[in-house]
């Protein structure tokens, strides 16, 4: 077990957030399939509401914390994940800023292509974190199973 204090995020909370984010990503994908600009923008905003704070917390708090783990496997996995996904939040911000509803209406296939590529990157990150990084962090005592109450 690490001598470091546990970060505020727990395994249960991270997994629950990932499930909600994956659901919103599916809604965005479905909206792209329907080819309705209003639905695409609404789904993008729904996803952004959950995603951006989550990625900020992971990228600036949790991953750096895990990168300093005394458990070599956890630290290595956190460093590798950071390198693979370091631009993901910035790329989502760019997509959100660029694709207003009117622009989506003019080029829905272009929007759908860009959104789909980011969804695939996002789901790959979630999968890696859920299946490798967070179980290793939990096993090594770097994160708690559940949030600590008051």
CATH label of the domain that carries residue 114: 1.20.120.520
Collapsing DSSP states into helix, strand and coil, what is residue 44? helix
Q: Is residue 81 domain-resident?
A: yes
- Mean pLDDT, residues 64-92 taken together: 88
41-75 pLDDT, tens digit each? 999 999 999 999 999 888 888 888 888 888 888 88
Q: Are 46 and 82 in contact (CB under 8 A)?
A: no
Spatial contact of 95 and 44, defined as CB atoms under 8 Å apart: yes
Question: Among 14-18, 63-67, 96-100, whose mean pLDDT is lowest?
Answer: 63-67
Q: How far is the C-alpha of 81 from the C-alpha of 25, rounded, in Å?
A: 20
Residues spanned by the domain of 79:
11-139
5 within some domain: no
Report if residue 149 sits inside a domain: no
* DSSP classification of residue 141: T
User: Does 6 map to a domain?
Assistant: no
* 115 closest CA partner among 84, 129, 94: 94
In a domain, 4, yes or no: no
Does the structure show a pLDDT above 60 at 3?
A: no
Residue 2 belongs to a domain: no
């Amino acid at each position: 077990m690490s001598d470091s204090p546990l970060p505020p995020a727990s395994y249960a909370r991270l997994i629950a957030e990932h499930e909600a984010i994956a659901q919103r990503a599916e809604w965005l994908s479905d909206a792209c399939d329907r080819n309705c600009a209003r639905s695409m923008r609404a789904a993008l905003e729904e996803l952004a509401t959950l995603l951006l704070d989550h990625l900020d917390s992971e990228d600036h708090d949790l991953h750096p914390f895990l990168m300093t783990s005394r458990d070599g496997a956890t630290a290595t996995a956190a460093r590798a994940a950071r390198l693979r996904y370091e631009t993901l939040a910035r790329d989502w911000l760019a997509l959100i800023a660029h694709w207003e509803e009117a622009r989506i209406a003019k080029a829905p296939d272009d929007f759908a292509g860009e959104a789909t590529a980011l969804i695939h990157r996002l789901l790959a990150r979630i999968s890696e974190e859920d299946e490798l990084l967070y179980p290793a962090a939990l096993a090594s005592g770097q994160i708690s199973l559940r949030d600590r109450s008051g």
